[in-house]
Amino acid sequence: MTSKKHERLAVRLTDIIIRLNNGERLNIHDLADEHKVSVRTIQRDLNERLALFDYAEAGSSHYQLNKNKQGHLSQAEIRRIANFASIQDLFPEVDRRFFQEKLSQSITVKGFQYENIRHKQREFDRITKAIDENRYIEFDYQKVRGKKTETQLKHHKLQPYHLLNKNGIWYVVGLKEQQQRIYCFTQMNNIQLSEETFVCDPEIKEEILATDSLFFGNRISEIVLQVNAKVAGYFQRRDLLPNQELVRHLDNGDLLLVCKNIHPREITPIVQYWIPHIRVISPVEVQQKMEEGLREYLGLI
């Protein structure tokens, strides 16, 4: 593929990804006309080059992303995907499948904005490489709480499984001494890529990829919430709660939602934000504890 042809392809794919990410419903005939290519070329773009995307609609003429996948990509991530997709034809089929899988699984974005990590791009790439190659990383870690002193910096050795962006903040998820741990990326310093490798546990990997939770201990199997009809549309358009699932629509227009395998501390701040339009139905202890915290807060005013 010539350089100019590659550039045109990258530009076209970038445009398609941006529009999909923005929630547009794309018509392949319109795309073909806009980019001066055949309909078959656009179909190949969507069905092969961008096959890693989760399409809600992938019919003969129209394509649209699943609503839960819209708005999650930054410009940097869009460029990365487009650049890979535009050169993947140079790789054998087995390698293409491998790189597509790594592209979609080694990094997950859950939120609306990226924090600025430009100054730590090398370290970020180092962790991505460690995840791809199942290699240990070592680093010093500084918690947000407390003053930054030598005694509070702790050294860690981790099996990195996943990079996760939650609400604009990057986290590294992995195993330390066979326990699942999560670290804020920007608080990791002196990150070193070890030559020592580990065997990635597929069940743990699947569990980490399947959850929105940032807590790996003291989880509750499920938390049930009722959302008032006045704000139900917001929760239907996008999962605003971690591990959110719709149980049913109630007759009065309210929604009954469930969040599975989650820590209460990830639920209560969101419920408090939407007061008085949402409340915890079960377990009742979660609602009671949140109400006690609010009464205590009001007593201080």
Q: What is the pLDDT of residues 158-177, one digit of tens each?
A: 999 988 777 667 889 999 98
Residue at 215 is within a domain: no
Assess whether 74 and 23 both reside in one domain.
yes
Q: Is 71 left (phi over 0), alpha (psi -120 to 50) or beta?
A: left
The CATH number of the domain holding residue 272 is 3.30.70
* CATH number of the domain encompassing residue 154: 2.30.30
- Alpha-carbon distance of 140 to 273, in angstroms, equals 34
Q: What is the mean pLDDT of residues 1-13?
A: 73
Domain end position, chosen among 104, 129, 147: 104
Is 199's pLDDT higher than 70?
A: yes
The domain boundary residue, chosen from 187, 210, 233: 210
Both 196 and 230 in one domain: the answer is: no
Domain count, the chain: 3
Report yes or no on 52 lying in a domain.
Answer: yes
**Confidence band of 257 (pLDDT split at 50, 70, 90):** very high
Select from 145, 180, 210 the last residue of a domain.
Answer: 210
List Cβ neighbours of 176 (8 Å cut-off, separation of 6 or more).
156, 157, 158, 159
**Same domain membership, residue 225 and residue 144:** no
Please check whether residues 200 and 145 belong to one and the same domain.
Answer: yes
Mean pLDDT of the chain: 80
Q: Would you say residue 149 has pLDDT above 70?
A: no
Residues 7 and 100 in one domain: yes
pLDDT one-digit tens code per residue, 93-143: 444 444 455 455 555 555 444 566 778 888 988 998 999 899 999 999 977
Residue 113 lies in a domain: no
Residue 255 makes CB contacts below 8 A (sequence gap 6+) with: 226, 227, 229, 232, 235, 236, 246, 247, 248, 249
Q: State the residue range of the domain holding 64.
A: 3-104
Number of neighbouring beta carbons within 10 Å of residue 76: 12
Considering only 188-202, 203-217, 247-261, which range has the smallest mean pLDDT?
203-217
CATH of the domain at 70: 1.10.10
The answer to whether residue 230 sits within a structural domain is yes
pLDDT class for 7, splitting at 50, 70, 90? confident
Radius of gyration of the chain measured on its C-alpha atoms? 22
Please state the pTM of the whole predicted model: 0.48
Tell me what the mean pLDDT of segment 143-152 comes to: 55
- Collapsing DSSP to helix, strand or coil, 89 comes out as helix
